[in-house]
Amino acid sequence: MYLPPGSSRWLEKRCDETDAADDLAERIGSLLLDDRFSDISLIVEGEALPAHRIILACSCEYFRALLFGDLEESRKTQIVLEDVPLRGMKIFLTYVYTAKLDLKELEAATALEVIGIAHMYGLEKLLRKLSDFLKRNLSVESACSILERAELLELDSLSEACRDYMGHHASAILKTREFCHLPAKTLSRLLSRDTFCVEEVEIVIAIKLWREMNPDHGNFPEILEVVRLSLISTADLVTIVQDSGLFSAERLLEVIRGKEIDRIDPRGKLIKRRHPAPANHRVFTLT
């Protein structure tokens, strides 16, 4: 019998269907990490996590091929998952069994673990959910770690959101311990942006600290190339920059003589700021 959308009978039917779906989801969720009817154990960091082949196989192509394909693992009752963090895997399984993810208590570090697992096993919906969560919860302390993981997993939208946020909080970002752990290519891309709004001499100081933390890095010259020395005052060039030991005396003399001034673009805020600056930090336009 046809029920017009919006009618009382139609709404009643939809409510019944929703209740049935919720009841089914709750029943499946009750099997999470439960030995009842378990036919496979996932060994993560030495701990056995009881699971169910059919539920795992329904979650993604990876487990479908692993557990019901022609691979040796399809005949095993225990599968060791290498390079998978236990904490993140438990949250991942919670999502697989319940299709829910409690974001309220999720910390950025844990979210990065789960997003790595979701990427590994190809759960696109979970990837998008976690990416959106991380975008909304960027902070000075977490931005570098999130950017590093986003670039590694080629999550372009999340990477760009991180760079945007970091550009508006540049001075504070440069002072974090996590900044010194950024890979060279990530660092170069970040510091080369016109929207990374900070005094150039602060970048020199931060690169010096990065170099001290990464003394054997082979790509260091490409990082120095992004420094716009002509934006630094002569007084700072002959003191702070020279004392850093990053540039030769000849190079600094070239800059002081003004050979490159006309070829260097200033840093400036080219886009509308969407993130509030932290206390005691000033976002400005350089001219």
With DSSP H G I counted as helix, E B as strand and the rest as coil, what are the percentages for the chain, rounded to 5?
60, 5, 40
Give me the phi and psi of 209, to 5 degrees please: -65, -40
Q: What is the mean pLDDT of the chain?
A: 86
Q: What digits encode the pLDDT tens for the residues 53-65?
A: 999 999 999 999 9
Q: What digits encode the pLDDT tens for the residues 227-262?
A: 999 999 999 999 999 999 999 999 999 999 885 555
pLDDT class of 112 with cuts at 50, 70, 90: very high
The residue ranking higher by pLDDT, 149 or 280, is 149
Distance CA(168)–CA(118), nearest Å, equals 29
pLDDT class of 86 with cuts at 50, 70, 90: very high
* pLDDT beyond 70 at 130: yes
Q: What is the pTM of this model?
A: 0.81
Q: What digits encode the pLDDT tens for the residues 167-214?
A: 999 999 999 999 999 999 999 999 999 999 999 999 999 999 999 998
User: Going from the N-terminus, what domains does the chain have, and what CATH number goes with each?
Assistant: 166-287 (1.25.40)
Tokens in use for 260?
Answer: 């490159």
The residue ranking higher by pLDDT, 83 or 17, is 83
pLDDT class of 8 with cuts at 50, 70, 90: low
First-residue to last-residue Cα distance in the chain: 71
Closest C-alpha to 238, from 263, 221, 223, 256: 256
Model pLDDT, residue 265: 64
